[in-house]
Amino acid sequence: RRCRMSGLPLDALAAAVGPGLGEAVQSGSATIEPTPVPGLPGTVVWLVRDDSLDHPLQAYVGHWPDGQVRVLSDDQDAWADLVRDVGAHIDTVATALGYVRAFLECTRGAGVPVREITAADELPWRPGSPEEERRRAEFLGGPPVPEPRAVAQDGGFHVELTLIVGQRVQRNLFDVTAAGVIDASFTVLADDLPLPIVR
C-alpha cells in the first residue's frame, strides 16, 4: 500500500516512525506533507504529524530512490546518506541558506527546541532564578545578536546562523559543499538562560 498523496510505502513509513505515530499512519489519522528542501531534487523529505493526541507527534522522514524510508529527526547521519543518494545541487547563496535551515529543522530532536533568531527580542523569556536573570541582563546588555550570513567560498558556501538550542544561544557555522555535504561547528554566546524548558 502507498499513500496516494506521497507515493510513500505506508508499511515502510509506519515501521520507520515507530509505535504511536506509525499507528496513526496506518489508520490514516496522520498528516503526511511534502517538505521541499532547497537544492534537493523533487520531494524526498516528508513531515509526518499526528495532532489527535494530547501531545502531537511528528517526525521528518526521507524517501530513498530504492524505496526505503528512514526517520531524519535527530539523525544527521541519515540526512547525509539521503543527500548523497538523491544528489544535491547547492549553487547559490540563497539555496545554501535555505538548505541549512531545512537541515536544522528536519534533523532536530523532538526533546530540544532549536530555532533561529535574528534579534534578542525574539527570545521567549520565562521568569528565572536570580542567577538566570543576571545572565539574561548580561546577554541583553552585550553585543546585538549577529545577523544571518551566507557567502560563497571555495566552490561551496559558508553559512552562519544564531540559534536557540535548549537554554543556550549559540552561533552556528556551516560549510556546505555544492553536493550538500555539511561541516558544522558552533560558538556559545550565552548559556543557562531563563528560556522555556520543553519536557
pTM: 0.92
How confident is the model at residue 7, as a pLDDT? 75
How confident is the model at residue 32, as a pLDDT? 92
| Rounded CA separation 10/33 (Å) | 14
**pLDDT tens over the chain, length 199 residues:** 555 555 788 899 999 999 889 999 998 889 999 999 999 998 899 999 998 877 788 999 999 999 899 999 999 999 999 999 999 999 999 999 999 999 999 999 877 778 999 999 899 899 999 999 999 999 999 999 999 999 999 889 999 999 999 899 999 999 999 999 999 999 999 999 999 876 4
How confident is the model at residue 196, as a pLDDT? 85
How confident is the model at residue 147, as a pLDDT? 93
